[in-house]
């Protein structure tokens, strides 16, 4: 995997005294550093040029733990996002962050210990509820871990909670921090998977599929529960074969009994992303297929295409192992029925199903 090349650091004065700041600067070595103010970002940023070679260290004043916004029109999983950073050193053509982020640069929040404390107090306040928490919504959970050492901070904190799990979602193979951690309990390490063709062409900077699966296998051997996310599935020439090859690699390397869940989701994006994508990734072919405006205002594949994608992948995965905790991300009851042969009915039903998987794996 290509290392993220950080060419400069912007440091907010408020972040100077944070332990995270010292850790990151020590890990980076000699890189030009300048002090920033909160206002630096938007003015310097050019829309669609997210400045991935600039690391912005700053104190985050918002809520660290937030429910995934989801959508009312489709069935959502009730996930909680632990917000540690924004933007990602990888450069996937389809990345929604290109359209969502109104501030440029890789932004790492330095007050993570304080934020984590607040998040945990919210979790502890509801002992009867299961919190499925992830850090991989607004950034890759592990891509910056060699610098930020999030794993050192987060894993011990979550491993002692009986009503929460922490899911670290990644496309990388940066698992050294995980392997060195003293705990495994209530931690899920998840990989985003695709066909090798999509990984090679559309996921710039990310390792190939086999490397990801080998990293997952290593984590399994080291005692971690794993998850996988085929999201976004992309219709492309030879997609059936492409996804079948990925499943074959999973079969070869992974123990299916150590997989808590596998989500399936197809490419969807806010309409505004299209122009950005064309400008930033002119070689991308992901817009070639038939997209319609979904009920949530996002562009998504025409329904029978999505059904076909899910049916095919579900068949491949179930042909390997029946109990993989398959679920769909942001789809309707109708598509659940057609694609997976059952439906949780609504978002509460899906939450209940995934909470059940958590209990099954972690008690």
Partner 1 sequence: MQRDTPLRAVALERAARVDIDPGLLIPETPGPYTMSEGGSLETLCASLEAVGLLCPPVLRTSGKGPVEIVLGYRRILALKALGARTVSCLQVPGEALPPVEALCMAFYDNLATRSFNSLEKGMVLRRLCAFFPERHVIDVFMPRLGLPRRPETLHVLTACDAHLEGPARGALANGTLSLDSARRLLEAEAGERDMLTDVILSFRLNLNQQARFLELLKDLAPAEGGFRGALDAVGLEDLRGDLDLNLPQKADALLQRLRHRRYPRLLQAEEAFRREVVALDLPKGVKISAPPFFESPSYRMEILFRDGRELMRHLQTLSRQERIGALRDPWKPGTP
**Site residues for partner 1 per CB under 8 A:** 278, 285, 287-288, 290, 292-295, 302-305, 332-334
Nearest-CA neighbor of 169 among 230, 118, 115, 217? 230
Helices and strands counted in the chain (H then E): 14, 18
Compare residues 73 and 126 and give the one whose CB is closer to partner 1.
73
φ, ψ for residue 330, nearest 5 deg = 55, 60
Q: Determine the distance from the C-alpha atom of residue 140 to the mean position of all C-alpha atoms in its chain, rounded to a whole number.
A: 6
Compare residues 292 and 348 and give the one whose CB is closer to partner 1.
292
| Those residues with Cβ within 8 angstroms of residue 69's Cβ, 6 or more apart along the chain or in another chain | none
Compare residues 220 and 343 and give the one whose CB is closer to partner 1.
343
**Rounded to the nearest whole angstrom, what is the least distance from the CB of residue 47 to partner 1 in the complex?**
9
**Rounded to the nearest whole angstrom, what is the least distance from the CB of residue 295 to partner 1 in the complex?**
6
**Rounded to the nearest whole angstrom, what is the least distance from the CB of residue 250 to partner 1 in the complex?**
30
Place of tokens 């390397």: 253
**Rounded to the nearest whole angstrom, what is the least distance from the CB of residue 236 to partner 1 in the complex?**
11
Compare residues 144 and 286 and give the one whose CB is closer to partner 1.
286
Rounded CA-CA distance 131/326 in Å is: 19
- List C-alpha distances in Å: 355 to 163, 249, 350, 360, 361: 10, 28, 8, 9, 10
**Rounded to the nearest whole angstrom, what is the least distance from the CB of residue 69 to partner 1 in the complex?**
20
Helix (H, G, I), strand (E, B), or coil: what is residue 358? helix
Compare residues 22 and 293 and give the one whose CB is closer to partner 1.
293
């Amino acid at each position: 995997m290509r290392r993220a090349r950080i060419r400069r650091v912007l440091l907010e004065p408020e972040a100077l005294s944070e332990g995270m700041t010292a850790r990151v600067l020590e890990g980076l070595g000699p890189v030009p550093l300048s002090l920033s103010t909160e206002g630096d970002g938007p003015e310097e940023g050019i829309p669609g040029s997210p400045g991935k070679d600039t690391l912005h260290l700053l104190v985050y004043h918002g809520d660290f733990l937030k429910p995934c916004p989801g959508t009312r029109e489709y069935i959502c999983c009730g996930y909680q996002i632990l917000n540690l950073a924004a933007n990602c050193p990888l450069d996937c053509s389809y990345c929604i962050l290109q359209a969502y982020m109104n501030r440029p640069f890789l932004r790492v929040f330095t007050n993570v210990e304080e934020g984590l404390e607040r998040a945990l107090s919210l979790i502890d306040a509801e002992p009867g509820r299961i919190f499925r928490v992830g850090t991989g919504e607004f950034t890759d959970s592990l891509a910056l871990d060699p610098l930020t050492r999030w794993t050192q901070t987060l894993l011990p904190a979550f491993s002692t909670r009986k009503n929460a799990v922490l899911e670290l979602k990644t496309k990388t193979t940066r698992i050294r921090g995980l392997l060195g951690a003293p705990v495994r309990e209530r931690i899920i390490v998840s990989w985003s998977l695709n066909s090798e063709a999509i990984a090679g062409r559309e996921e710039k900077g990310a390792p190939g599929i086999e490397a990801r699966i080998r990293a997952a296998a290593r984590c399994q051997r080291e005692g971690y529960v794993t998850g996988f996310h085929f999201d976004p599935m992309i219709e492309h020439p030879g997609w059936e074969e492409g996804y079948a090859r990925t499943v074959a690699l999973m079969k070869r390397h992974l123990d299916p009994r150590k997989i808590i869940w596998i989500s399936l989701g197809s490419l969807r994006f806010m309409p505004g992303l299209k122009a950005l994508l064309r400008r930033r990734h002119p070689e991308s072919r992901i817009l070639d297929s038939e997209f319609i405006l979904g009920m949530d205002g996002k562009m998504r594949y025409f329904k029978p295409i999505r059904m076909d994608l899910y049916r095919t992948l579900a068949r491949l995965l179930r042909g390997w192992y029946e109990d993989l905790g398959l679920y769909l991300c942001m789809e309707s009851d109708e598509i659940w029925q057609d694609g997976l042969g059952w439906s949780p009915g609504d978002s509460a039903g899906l939450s209940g199903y995934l909470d059940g998987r958590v209990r099954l794996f972690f008690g």
